[in-house]
Each structure stands twice: as C-alpha cells, then as structure tokens.
Structure 1
Amino acid sequence: MTDKSEFLHPISKYQGEFKPETLVFNANLQEFAQKVGYVCALETGGKINSNQAYQQIRELWRELKKSKKELGIGAPPDQQE
C-alpha cells in the first residue's frame, strides 16, 4: 500500500452474490465501520466525550439503516424493486 488513501480507507473485496444494491450496501457498511473506528479513537484519545461519540455513532447507524432500506436489502422479494 503506497497510497495514503488506501492505508487510511482500506476497502475489502466483496465476497457475496453480486447484485448492484448489495455491492453498494457493502461499501456503505465498510464506510460505517471505518467512521465508527475514527469516532472511537477520538473518544479514547480524549478529543470528544462519550456522549458525543454515542451521538455520532447513533447518527452513522441511522444513515446505514436508511441506506439498507432504500436499497431494499433484506426486504421480502415481493417488496424489492
């Protein structure tokens, strides 16, 4: 990894059945995990307090859930677009 961006934002290869919506959700999930790691590091390092960390992670979770719903991941086949 010579590129700083690859080091800071590693992306793992997708392993599931290929569908565009699952690929997008996988990318969103990886981004969520990366951001949660940053928030945890900020809280551990004393840069933000635990309440701020909780609120930020809660908002990230809401965004991930919204993404899942919009992409139709996990919905019964008759409800998927």
Structure 2
Amino acid sequence: MVQPNQKDLNKFLYPHSSYRGQVKPENLVFNANLQEFAQKVSFIANLETSGKLAPEEAYSQIKMLWKQLKLSKKELKIGSQTLSDNQ
C-alpha cells in the first residue's frame, strides 16, 4: 500500500482556498487566520462529536480561538474605515 507523502497529507488536513477579496496585506493575513480558525473549530467539533473531548472543553477551546481571531481582526484593522477609504 502506498503512503501519501507529507505534502499531500498537509494539503488534505489543512486545505486553503484561493482569496478573491480586495488584495491588501491585512486582508490576506486575516483570511489565512480565518481559514485556520475554521479548520481548528472543525477538528474540535469532530473530537467532541466522537466523544474524545468533553463539550465544556470543546466550548472553551473554541471560545479561546474566537478571541484570538477577534484580536487579529482588531490588530489588522479589518472593517475599520478611515476617512481616506470613504472618499
């Protein structure tokens, strides 16, 4: 039986979609953070569903990830409009 190489395994476990929004460095960084958040939440949900993680622990971990994503959004100034953006 042929084992998948590490690159293929990483592509399977950590898929990334192409970014199609406004191309700015902060948007690209936030998009990467958002995709990582979604992947980790999916893993946590699957562990909880299979009984390998308690519901309280799953909630706690997802809440921590959400706080990290929210901080990332704030630090990157995503969604905050300046006067120059509105003109």
- TM, length-normalised to structure 1: 0.92
**Counterpart position of 1:72:** 77
> Where do 4+ consecutive residues of structure 1 move more than 2 Å?
none
Whole-angstrom CA distance in 1 between matches of 2:65 and 2:45 = 13
CA offsets, 1:24-77, max 9 Å, x none?
000000000000000000100101111000000000000000000000001121
Q: Secondary structure at the match of 1:15?
A: coil
Q: Percent identity?
A: 57
Paired with 1:54 and 1:17, the residues of 2 have a C-alpha distance of 32
1:43 aligns with 2:48: yes
Q: Counterparts in 2 of 1:1-81, with a 5 A limit?
A: 3-78=8-83
Q: Take 2:82 and 2:27, find their aligned partners in 1: how far apart are those partners? A: 14
Greater C-alpha Rg: 2
TM-score between both structures, scaled by the size of structure 2: 0.85
Give ranges in structure 1 of 5+ residues lacking alignment: none
Unaligned runs of 5+ in 2: none
The size of the alignment, in residue pairs, is 79
